[in-house]
C-alpha cells in the first residue's frame, strides 16, 4: 500500500447475498478488525462514497438499484465484489432469479473470494481498493489539469485495455 493522500469513503450494498458477507463487511469495520485505520469510513450516502462494496449476486429486481447506486457515485470510483456470490454467483448461480455475479451489471475492479469472505480477506480487498482509488484519483487530477476541467474522450475510470473490452461487451452497462 503506497502513500494515501485521501480518505476514501465506503458504501456497502447487499445485492442478493445470504447476509454472511454483509455481516463480515460490518465486522471488518468494527474495532476488532478495524478497517478504519486505513482511512476508510462507512457511509450510507452514494453521493459521498468512493468505494462501493457489493456483496451477493445480482437478481432481476435489484439490478436497477445497483446500477443507480453506481451511477450516483462521483468519479473516480472503485468497486469491490465481496464473496463468492458477488464474484461469480456462487451456490445460487443456477437459481432462476439470478443474473449472475455483480459483474453482470456493473464493472468490478477487485474480487474478494470466500463463502462467507473472512474479515482478513475483505481487509485485503479494502487495502487494494484504497491503493487503486489513489491511482485513479491522481490520473483524474492530472487529466483535469491538462484539459482544464473539460470532459475528454478518456474516462479516468477505465485504466486497462481489458476494462475497455469488458465495457464494450457488457450489455446495458451503467453510464461509463
Partner 1 sequence: MGKKSVIPFGPQHPVLPEPIHLDLVVEDERIVEAIPNIGFIHRGLEGLAPDRDFQKYLYVVERTCGICSFGHGLGYVESIEGIMNVEVPERAKYLRVVWAEMARMTSHLMWLGFTADAFGFESLFYEAWRIREKVLDLMEMTTGGRLIYSVLKVGGVLKDITPDMQKKILDDLNEIEKETREMTRTFLDDYSVKTRLVGVGVLTKQQAHDVGACGPMARASGIVCDMRMRGYEAYADLGFEPVVSQDGDSYARCEVRINEIFASIELVRRAFERMPKEGDLAVTVKGNPDGEYFARIEQPRGEAIFYSEGHGKPALDRFRLRTPTFANLQALCETLKGAEYADVPILILTIDPCISCTER
Tell me: does residue 99 bind partner 1 (CB under 8 A): no
Name the residue nearer to partner 1 (CB basis): 16 or 134.
Answer: 16
- Cα distance between residue 52 and residue 91, in whole Å: 23
Coil/strand/helix, residue 145: helix
What is the rounded radius of gyration, in angstroms, for the C-alpha atoms of the chain? 16
Tell me: does residue 91 bind partner 1 (CB under 8 A): yes
C-alpha cell at 125: 480487498
Window 116-155: contact mask with partner 1 (x via CB under 8 A): x-x-------------------------------------
For partner 1, which stretch binds (CB under 8 A), given 7-15, 74-82, 144-152, 155-163?
A: 7-15
List binders of partner 1 among 38-67 (CB under 8 A): 43-46, 56-57, 59, 61-62, 65
- H or E stretch at 43: strand 41-43
User: Is residue 99 classed exposed, middle or buried when 0-12, 13-18 and 19+ CB atoms within 10 A define those classes?
Assistant: middle
Name the residue nearer to partner 1 (CB basis): 65 or 165.
Answer: 65
DSSP 172: T
Tell me: does residue 36 bind partner 1 (CB under 8 A): no
Phi, psi of 76 (to 5 degrees): -75, 155
- Cα distance between residue 131 and residue 72, in whole Å: 22
Tell me: does residue 30 bind partner 1 (CB under 8 A): yes
Tell me: does residue 165 bind partner 1 (CB under 8 A): no
CB contact at 8 A, 38 and 76:
no
Residue ranges in contact with partner 1 by CB under 8 A = 12-24, 26-27, 30-32, 43-46, 56-57, 59, 61-62, 65, 69, 90-92, 94-98, 115-116, 118
Amino acid at each position: 500500500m503506497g502513500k494515501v493522500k485521501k480518505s476514501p469513503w465506503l458504501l456497502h450494498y447487499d445485492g442478493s447475498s445470504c447476509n454472511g458477507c454483509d455481516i463480515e463487511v460490518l465486522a471488518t469495520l468494527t474495532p476488532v478488525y478495524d478497517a478504519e485505520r486505513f482511512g476508510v469510513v462507512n457511509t450510507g450516502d452514494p453521493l459521498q462514497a468512493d468505494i462501493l462494496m457489493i456483496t451477493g449476486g445480482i437478481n432481476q429486481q435489484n439490478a436497477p438499484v445497483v446500477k443507480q447506486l453506481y451511477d450516483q457515485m462521483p468519479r473516480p470510483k472503485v468497486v469491490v465484489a465481496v464473496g463468492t456470490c458477488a464474484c461469480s454467483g456462487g451456490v445460487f448461480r443456477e437459481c432462476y432469479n439470478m443474473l449472475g455475479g455483480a459483474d453482470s451489471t456493473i464493472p468490478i475492479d477487485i474480487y474478494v473470494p470466500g463463502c462467507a469472505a473472512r474479515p482478513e480477506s475483505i481487509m485485503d480487498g479494502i487495502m487494494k481498493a484504497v491503493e487503486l482509488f489513489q491511482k485513479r484519483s491522481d490520473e483524474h487530477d492530472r487529466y483535469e489539469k491538462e484539459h482544464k476541467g473539460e470532459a475528454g474522450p478518456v474516462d479516468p475510470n477505465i485504466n486497462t485495455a481489458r476494462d475497455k473490452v469488458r465495457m464494450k461487451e457488457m450489455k446495458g452497462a451503467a453510464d461509463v
